[in-house]
Structure 1
Amino acid sequence: MSAVAVRHAAVSYGGREVLQDITLDVAAGQVVAILGANGSGKSTLIRAILGLVPLRSGSIELFGTPQRRFRQWARIGYVPQRMGAGSGVPATVGEVVASGRLARRGIFRPSGAADRAAVQAALEDVGLLDRIGDPVSTLSGGQQQRTLIARALAGQPELLILDEPTAGVDAASQDAFAGALRRFGAAGGTILLVAHELGPIEPLIDKAVVVHHGRIAYEGAVPEPAGHHGDPGHDHVHPHAEAERPAICVAPTDRMPTR
């Protein structure tokens, strides 16, 4: 069974078609990376899969159930782009990660020993257990992003969906992400992630899907970047004409820019 099955999906914003005729399968236990330039539609695809934006046409199934009837959201962990935690959220690292248990236990049940153990295990997995009592606003950007991954892992999902988890974070956090994802996958978890640059995550990828102008332009092994798209300073923003051949923008590990 596919963990995610997208069939001929289309999404429009204000009359503008953002995704067109997207068909995609993510098999259980697979690690799939969605790649592409800024504005290509890859983050919109993730949000459509999660039901955060409506489809204009087509269908999506999660674990064999039509998305509109899917209710087992504890089976899915979501890591959005960067955390707003540094901007005035009065919570500790442990409290943020503990919120990842709500879908599993329900909001009206108090936390128990299993919840506390899951929070500690998730923080240990991303290398932040020693910061469990610290205000999340005191963390670096990379540590905040690791906190978001720990929050998703604490819910003990079967499918982990991540939207550019390594964008703009330090090398230590990139390595911590890769280690946590490797262990999650080794335990049978399914991973679907959006990325510009894979860095240390690249060896984990089973399938790459390149989105270009709202359509899937490529599906297969992680492609090598072509020409200037592989240069360290390339910003991956492509206002190309529709007729131009799609640029596949994936920075390999040895060209990962230091941030």
Structure 2
Amino acid sequence: MYVTAEPVFSAEPVVEIAHGVVGYADRPVLRDVSLSAAAGEVVAILGANGSGKSTLIRAILGLVPLRGGTVRLFGTPLKRFRQWRRVGYVPQRLGAGSGVPATVGEVVASGRLARRGVLRPPGAADRAAVTAALTAVGLAERAAEPVATLSGGQQQRTLIARALAGEPELLVLDEPTAGVDASSQTAFADALRGFVDTGGTVLLVAHELGPLQPLINRAVVVHDGKIAHDGAAPVPAGHHAAPDHDHVHPHAPEEPPGVCLT
């Protein structure tokens, strides 16, 4: 059982989208959406398949263009934002071993590039950050193994470690536990708890919360491209509330390869 102090949030939002509009061809996806997250806050974005919740965070990160509205990160308009080392992004169901002949440690170490630059060789601080990130997700003993040999859940934990290794201030996660085994979900929740305890801000897309429920300060429900609820996280109902329920049925299309900010 975890007991944490009531979080205190800063006044200036870390993330802010105002009157956001996104559409593909003639099909509207987001309709006049406004959302903000303060420093230290953990915000879950919930909704049914096709509701627009993943499109919302992609718009916030500039991965899909806005047709209307504005986005600000750390108080800076998205078009002028350059400090991507402050942001860690874990995309939806992108396999860490997708044809890449790399070890777990090498994949996680790539999360340091935005912070140290491509040309500078890794130093002691980089190695310490990689070790800490691997430990946080329970993969320290697998660092030298090819990432392609890991299970799907362990590969997802590798991607989360890669984001943590960059020591971001904001973590953006798109359904990180969908299709992931129960032990990996628990390991992920523990890693996220450690990040939040250091003052990190989290924007998390989920179909359901599971082990993450105790960490959530606020839930935003997206329905038909609009914000239908912004407040306390909904209480699980029916079979989703059962203690042995395991949400391991992936249902969303895979993220295009090569989309990552860390």
Instruction: Check whether TM > 0.5.
Output: yes
| Consecutive unaligned residues in structure 1, runs of 5 or more | 233-250
Q: Are 2:138 and 2:187, in contact at CA under 8 Å, matched by a contact in 1?
A: yes
The whole-number CA distance in structure 2 between the counterparts of 1:11 and 1:32 is 21
User: Which residue pairs with 1:243 in the alignment?
Assistant: none
Q: 104, 115, 126: which one pairs with 2:115? A: 104
- Corresponding residue SS for 2:180: coil
Letter in 1 for 2:229: Y
Percent identity between matched residues is 70
For residues 87-127 of structure 1, the C-alpha deviation after alignment (integer angstroms, 9 at most, x for no partner) is 32111001100110011011121111111111011000100
Alpha-carbon distance between aligned partners in 2 of 1:60 and 1:88, rounded to the nearest angstrom: 34
Residue 2 (structure 1) aligned with residue 17 (structure 2): no
Please list, as runs of the form range in 1=range in 2, the aligned pairs for 1:65-104 lying within 5 A after superposition.
65-104=76-115
Stretches of 4+ moved more than 4 A in 1? none
Structure 2 stretches lacking a partner, 5+ long: 1-11, 249-262
TM-score normalised to structure 1 length: 0.89
Q: CA deviation at 1:258?
A: 5.7
Q: Is the 8 A contact 1:231 1:255 kept in 2?
A: no
Q: Following the alignment from structure 2 to structure 1, what is the Cα–Cα distance between the partners of residues 34 and 243?
A: 32
Q: How many residues align?
A: 237
SS at match of 2:243: helix
Contact 1:202/1:253 (CA < 8 Å) preserved in 2?
no
TM-score normalised by length of structure 2: 0.88
Q: 1:189 to 1:253 in 2, by over 3 A?
A: farther
Distance 2:124 2:98 in 1: 30
* In structure 2, C-alpha distance between the alignment counterparts of 1:217 and 1:118, rounded to whole Å: 39
Give the letter for the 1:217 counterpart. Answer: A
Corresponding residue to 1:115 among 126, 132, 143:
126
State the match for 1:47 in structure 2.
Answer: 58
Asked if 1:256 corresponds to 2:230, the answer is no
Q: Which stretch shows the higher mean deviation, 80-89 or 5-14?
A: 80-89
What is the letter of the counterpart of residue 197 of structure 2?
Answer: A
| Corresponding residue number in structure 2 for 1:181 | 192
The verdict on how the C-alpha distance between 1:221 and 1:191 changes in structure 2, with shifts beyond 3 A counting, is same
User: For the aligned residues, what is the CA RMSD?
Assistant: 1.3
Question: In 1, distance between residues paired with 2:50 and 2:187?
Answer: 28
Q: Which amino acid aligns with 1:143?
A: Q
Q: Shift of the alpha carbon at 1:194? A: 0.2
The answer to whether the 8 A contact 2:15-2:73 is kept is yes
Q: Distance in 2 between matches of 1:96 and 1:252?
A: 35
- For residue 192 of structure 1, what is the aligned residue in structure 2? 203
Cross-structure match for 1:132 = 143
Inter-partner Cα distance in structure 2 for 1:152 and 1:64 = 22
1:202 has 2:210 as partner: no
Q: Tell me if the contact between 1:197 and 1:252 (Cα under 8 Å) persists in the aligned partners.
A: no
Q: Please state how far the C-alpha of 1:154 moved relative to its aligned partner.
A: 0.1
